[in-house]
C-alpha cells in the first residue's frame, strides 16, 4: 500500500503494548522508506508497484538500514548541536539504546 499512514495504526498498537521495546519513530521511518519504492513505480507507470522492499528480505534490509540510520543519527547528536524544540531531548533520559 503506497499510503504509509495506513501502516501507522498497527505500529501505534504495538507501541502501546511495548513502548520501551519499540520506537514508533523508527517504525514510521521504516514504513516511509519502504513506500518510496511503490511511489517511484507509480510515478513511472510501471507494474507491479510493490516489489523488492515489500518482501521479507527487502523489508529486513530496510529494517537494518533504518536501525543503522537511527544509530548514526544518535551518534551524530553527540557531535553536532541539535536544537531542542519541544524539549524532545529530555524525554528519554535514563533509557539507553533506544532509537
What would the grid cell of residue 18 be? 511495548
pLDDT in tens, the chain (99 residues): 456 677 778 888 888 898 888 788 888 888 888 888 888 998 999 989 888 988 999 989 998 999 899 889 888 877 877 677 767 656 555 555 554
pLDDT at residue 1 in the model = 47
Angular region, 13: left φ>0, alpha ψ -120 to 50, beta rest: alpha
Does residue 86 come out as left (phi exceeding 0), alpha (psi in the -120 to 50 range) or beta? left
Spatial distance between the Cα atoms of 24 and 37, rounded to a whole number of angstroms: 21
DSSP 8-state secondary structure symbol assigned to residue 49: S
Does the pTM exceed 0.75?
no
Locate the domains of the chain by residue range: 5-90
- Residue 19: predicted pLDDT: 84
Q: Which pLDDT does position 56 carry in this prediction?
A: 92
Amino acid at each position: 500500500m503506497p499510503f504509509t499512514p495506513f501502516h501507522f495504526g498497527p505500529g501505534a498498537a504495538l507501541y502501546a503494548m511495548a513502548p520501551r521495546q519499540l520506537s514508533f519513530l523508527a517504525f514510521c521511518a521504516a514504513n516511509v522508506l519502504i513506500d518510496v519504492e511503490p511511489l517511484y513505480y507509480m510515478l513511472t507507470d510501471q507494474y507491479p508497484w510493490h516489489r523488492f522492499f515489500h518482501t521479507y528480505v527487502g523489508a529486513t534490509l530496510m529494517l537494518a538500514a533504518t536501525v543503522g540510520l537511527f544509530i548514526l543519527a544518535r551518534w551524530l547528536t553527540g557531535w553536532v548541536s541539535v536544537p531542542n524544540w519541544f524539549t524532545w531531548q529530555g524525554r528519554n533520559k535514563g533509557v539507553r539504546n533506544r532509537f
